[in-house]
Amino acid sequence: MTAYHQLERRFTRIAAVADAIGILNWDCQTMMPAGAAPGRVEQTATLHGLLHELQTDPRLEDLLSQAEAEHAGPDPWQRANLREMRRSWLHAAAVPAELVEASSRASSECEMVWRSARAASDFALLRPSLEIVLERQREVGAAKATLLGGSPYEALLDAYEPGGRTAVIDALFDQVAGFLPELIERALEHQDSLPDPEPIPGPFPLEAQRTLGEHLMRAAGFDFERGRLDVSLHPFCGGATGDTRITTRYAQEEFLSALFGVVHETGHALYEQGRPEHWLFQPVGTARSMSIHESQSLLVEMQAARCRPFITYLAPLAQQTFGGEGACWSADNLLRHVTQVKRSFIRTEADEITYPAHVILRYRLEKAMVGGELAVADLPEAWAQGMRALLGITPPDDRRGCLQDIHWPGGGWGYFPTYTLGAMTAAQMFDAACRDDAELLPALGRGEFGPLVAWLRRQVHGHASLLTTEDLIESATGQPLNVAIYRRHLERRYLER
């Protein structure tokens, strides 16, 4: 067996262990009885340990070098697979086992402190353990940077956004930050000139909500033979290869949040279910990056499901599902509900147009903290300043400020920028797809996602990690990420309605 084929076998095993962890995590959030938590910690810690052993097996590096030497073969998938194998190895092998463990322990402990600190809005309580997490993250970043190149922050970012560079992101985000405050101001003014959304009276029985959600999932092409919809406190898309499981959280008195949550996770799920069959268990067969993943969810949720033609289809369907009556069920009113703009403190509650302000703030702060230019102690003040500059509001306390997200306590440094990179990518891809296929929008008006999903399968899902993120975007849309397209989308939706 060639070195390359030995590598394929090893990476299949690695994928299988990662998949097992994926199912255990899904179970933990949907099915597991509360008292089983200690055992589950033991199981996932052990599997993570075994996974790390498989990923850092010294024999792996020999095989990689051998395969790279022997492998000038013509198959671009195999070449790309080898490139992704090397990348996976770099990320795993760059960090000494003791640092992996110390970093993981710091994050676990800090997460627990964070729950108390957030509840009490007490930043001083969090600070010492957050400083330890940051220190470990900087060490991890520095260790990876020696092999990956770039800065420690970029090395952390690379785990979510392979090849991501701060110079590129800075340039993009600076442009967005340049027009955003004024755009939000004008969007709010415009909104004030329109009627307020009329409340849609509930209750909305959970079973009916689930039926409607599953209807949209089916319409979008979600394959229930290879996936599920369940309920969890925090919605997510998870599971395993060929077993894509999404969740939502229902409220009796309001149905739009859960429904658009389902639609969002369905976008993630379509990406997972559309990965190329032949490469499913190989690194090249996995999703390209977190920004591309987020682009797929936002494409379906923000671009497709919030466009007027689709809302015109959805309004009577929802009315019929819940047996509602009155003008509040009009497409116009529904559209107003799902495109309402409001300056708010909490990222996860933010609307499409204020969301990037939350993200750019966090990106700038985490980059400065990892780079040693901002001390954890100065975070609350820097946060307040940034919120004022980008969004024009000042959080009344740290609970509604720098204590709101789990990412930093949990060790997810370098993740934040992918949200807004994803939103920009989604706008640009939807724009290209509509230009490529004139039938796409009319089909959405009939509740048909077929043309959109066909375009995504062809341009995005089917490529998995064959291309770099930049090449993928350029091959799909004809140009690199272009802030102007994103801006035009926001202006059309929020200034010209």
Known catalytic residue: 272?
no
In the complex, least distance from residue 242 CB atom to its own copies, rounded to whole angstroms? 4
Tokens representing 68 are 């790279």
In the complex, least distance from residue 178 CB atom to its own copies, rounded to whole angstroms? 46
Q: Are 422 and 297 in contact (CB under 8 A)?
A: yes
Nearer to its own copies by Cβ, of 242 and 412: the residue is: 242
Nearer to its own copies by Cβ, of 24 and 393: the residue is: 24
In the complex, least distance from residue 239 CB atom to its own copies, rounded to whole angstroms? 8
Give me the sheet containing 227-231, strands edge to edge. Answer: 227-231, 243-248, 237-240
Measured distance CA(68)–CA(495) in Å, rounded: 53
Q: Are 293 and 270 in contact (CB under 8 A)?
A: no
Q: What is the CB neighbour count within 10 angstroms for residue 211? A: 11
Nearer to its own copies by Cβ, of 262 and 391: the residue is: 262
Concatenating the DSSP letter of every residue in 88-151 gives: HHHHHHTS-HHHHHHHHHHHHHHHHHHHHHHHHT-HHHHHHHHHHHHHHHHHHHHHHHHHH-S-
Interacting residue ranges for its own copies, rule: CB under 8 A: 12-13, 15-17, 19-20, 23-24, 27, 31-36, 38-40, 42-43, 45-47, 49-50, 223-228, 240-243, 280-281
Measured distance CA(55)–CA(154) in Å, rounded: 21
Q: Are 191 and 341 in contact (CB under 8 A)?
A: yes
Nearer to its own copies by Cβ, of 28 and 256: the residue is: 28
- The total number of residues shown for the chain amounts to 497
In the complex, least distance from residue 179 CB atom to its own copies, rounded to whole angstroms? 45
Measured distance CA(235)–CA(258) in Å, rounded: 9
Nearer to its own copies by Cβ, of 8 and 352: the residue is: 8
Q: Are 123 and 402 in contact (CB under 8 A)?
A: yes
Three-state secondary structure call for residue 476: helix
Measured distance CA(221)–CA(230) in Å, rounded: 17
Q: Are 334 and 310 in contact (CB under 8 A)?
A: no
In the complex, least distance from residue 42 CB atom to its own copies, rounded to whole angstroms? 5
Nearer to its own copies by Cβ, of 242 and 450: the residue is: 242
Q: Catalytic one among 84, 161, 265, 294?
A: 265
Nearer to its own copies by Cβ, of 44 and 319: the residue is: 44
Q: Exposed, middle or buried by CB within 10 Å (0-12, 13-18, 19+), for 97?
A: exposed
In the complex, least distance from residue 81 CB atom to its own copies, rounded to whole angstroms? 17
Closest to 487 (Cα-Cα) out of 169, 160, 70, 173: 173
In the complex, least distance from residue 280 CB atom to its own copies, rounded to whole angstroms? 8
Task: Give the active site residues.
Answer: 265
